[in-house]
Amino acid sequence: MKIPPGVRTGSRVRVAGKGEAGIGGGPPGDLFIETTVRPHPYFRREDYDIYIDVPISLKEALLGAEIEVPTVDGSTRIKIPPGTQGGQKLRIKGKGVPGPRGERGNQFVTVNIAVPRSIDERSKELIEEFSERNLYDPRKGLW
């Protein structure tokens, strides 16, 4: 028995003729299987789309990069545009779950900027210099 791709938790799959024997020696009925889809350690599914959170470095966010990300079909490479913001979603077309007509959803990569927990004194000086040269208030105009 083959479970069709794209089933969801609670979907019923019918297996013709594999149920109990019919009344009075009649043909066997159908077997219905109710599916339960287990959660994945890092993919999330919403309808036919797949979501994944991927950490990127500050350098990758500022300057852009090409990184490898997992998909349900294996790894693929995506471009991180320069100036990417934390929480930004990037789409990988056609890498989601197959739909009822064979078309596939998309995969969305949510990037999270990861920074080192501690840095040395020279790095602190460089960050201070960077901030002075690139004035930016991310909260300006919010309230």
Which tens digits make up the pLDDT trace of 33-81?
Answer: 888 888 899 999 998 999 999 999 999 999 999 999 999 999 999 999 9
Dihedral over alpha carbons 49, 52, 58, 61 (to 10 degrees): -10
Does position 84 have pLDDT exceeding 90, yes or no? yes
- Which residue has better confidence, 99 or 91? 91
Sequence-ordered strand ranges (E) for the chain: 12-15, 31-34, 44-46, 49-57, 65-71, 74-80, 89-92, 107-114
Q: 65 and 56 in contact (C-beta within 8 Å)?
A: yes
DSSP 70-93: EETTEEEEEEE-TTPPTT-EEEET
Domains and CATH numbers, the chain: 1-38 (no CATH), 40-115 (2.60.260.20)
The per-residue pLDDT for range 93-129, each reduced to its tens digit, is: 999 998 878 899 999 999 999 999 999 999 999 999 9
Give me the residues paired with residue 111 across strands.
54
Residue appearing with tokens 């909260």:
139
Q: Which long-range contacts (CB under 8 A, 24 or more apart) does 124-129 make?
A: none
d(CA 69, CA 111) in angstroms, rounded, equals 11
Residue 26: phi and psi, rounded to 5, are -70, 170
Residue appearing with tokens 């693929």:
76
Residue 133's pLDDT is what?
96
